[in-house]
Structure 1
Amino acid sequence: MRLETRNLSFNPHRGYALALAVLSSLILPDAVHAADAAPPVSLAWNANPESDVAGYKVHFGTQSGVYTEVLDVGRVTQATLPQLFMGSTYYLAVSAYNSTGLESPRSAEFSLTAAVPPPAVGTSFAMASGGQGKLQWKYPKSAEASAERFAVYASEDLATWTEAARFATGAATSSDSQWLYYEYPYQASKQKMFFKVAPRNAFGETE
């Protein structure tokens, strides 16, 4: 993920939420929580115009205006932050310093929340003839912006999972005032199969 201090931007990439199904009978195990650690986050900013700039410092912490961590990144205008933790909000600002150690005022503060999307709900698997089935789930409309896409995982034994499909959150088959509804057709060749649906965003996935 990359953040810009001007025109702040996020480039998403991960996520989870749970759903399982079987050919002869439906099995829905307990949800698995998302990992505590978020993917790396990088920060970039515009260089100061002064010719005597010797480097930059990135200040950040979990309370606005209180920066418990400071990264001295030298003369580069980008930095990768240490591991962030899911569910936490971080406040960041950047300052410049010269060769004598004089430090500029910090930039405007901005914040980012390492939050994962809520899980999918109402997962079910309906079987038709010839091994053709349909995995179904729904997702709250109010949470659509928090998920980039869904990943569908399949397993024969609940131990080894394979990503079987990906769906954009905008690919709902229908909706109402509260929910978005999704369907994944699946041709099953095994007596029993399990599935889980994982909403994803930049910070993780919810099982």
Structure 2
Amino acid sequence: MRNADKVILIIISFLILSPAMGFAASVVVSWNANTESDLAGYIVYYGTRSGNYTASVDTGNVTRYQFNNVQTGVTYYVAVSAYDTSGNESELSDEASIYVSSSPTQVKPTISLLSPQNGATVSTNPLFSWSGSGMVRYKVLASLDNRTYYTIYTGSGTSCRLSSSNWNGAIRSGARVYWYVQGTASDGKVYKSSVFTFRKR
């Protein structure tokens, strides 16, 4: 390993498995790969005091390691070294630290509209499609004036087609249609996407 002191950039992500203080969590540590041709693997050093690593693990030639049974409410310090096929070990990377919170990060449910794209010109029966996270049910609403909205779909799917069977009245050529999706999360809370518009050809 000719560049034995090559710096390894550590990127840390983590997942809290239990929100209760003192209970176990998991921490996933990842880093960029060393580019030496004789690279054999990596060693991860860690501890609960900066610069004082009380344990280490050889991950082999893998740039990711998951620590299980990590205590919440504690700061962990991590550094990584690389070693070559002759057993030569590089210097440690810069230290990275992470505080494992006792409360998991809450991800807010979201809805993203996919098609028709905002401002598009579409055919007679456009396909509405969207994506959502954390939702159990959707409602698609459309309007010709951005004031009075009609429900054109209700269900758990992520697409529906606009047709005479679900739209109240014909849409004239050149008309602008406003639409959005309303989603209901598993906890009963209702979320709304942004409003898109399209014009009928």
TM-score range, shorter chain: 0.3 to 0.5
Higher-helix-fraction structure: 1
Higher-strand-fraction structure: 2
What is the TM-score when the length of structure 1 is the normalising length? 0.44
Please say which structure displays the higher CA radius of gyration.
2
